[in-house]
Amino acid sequence: MKTYFVYIIQCADGSYYTGLTNNLKLRLEQHNSGTNPASYTYRRRPVFLVFNQDFSDVNQAILFEKKIKKWSAKKKKALINGDFYLLQILAECRNETHHKFKPD
């Protein structure tokens, strides 16, 4: 059975890149070697692995990757640090039209 990894790397400029692979070691080597000048990480090397989660189902991995790709850097950092309380707070809707909205 194949294993798939959703990963987050931190780039030299402090930004995060989220990806999916079935060979984490090779993929990190590819990011750091700069094989594709058009890629996000090419000018942001070196990159460092800061988070990964493995999946046995590729569809679950794809869904998780798509989900966290949309997250803010603060939410990604909370996930990286394992701060699930902060992650929950950052995930709460704060729009004025939301039923839980309470102005400070």
Task: Please say if the pLDDT value at position 104 is more than 70.
Answer: no
**Furthest C-alpha separation in the chain:** 51
Residue 95 in this model has a pLDDT that exceeds 90: no
**Could you read off the pLDDT of 36-85 as tens digits, one per residue?**
999 999 999 999 999 999 999 999 999 999 999 999 999 999 999 999 99
Supply the pTM of this predicted model. Answer: 0.87
pLDDT at 103 over 70: no
Paired strand residues for 19: 7
The fold adopted by the segment(s) 4-70 is GIY-YIG endonuclease (3.40.1440)
| Sequence ranges of the chain with CATH classification 3.40.1440.10 | 4-70
d(CA 64, CA 53): 10
- Tell me the torsion sign for CA atoms 43, 47, 52, 57: positive
pLDDT band at 23 (very low <50, low <70, confident <90, very high): very high
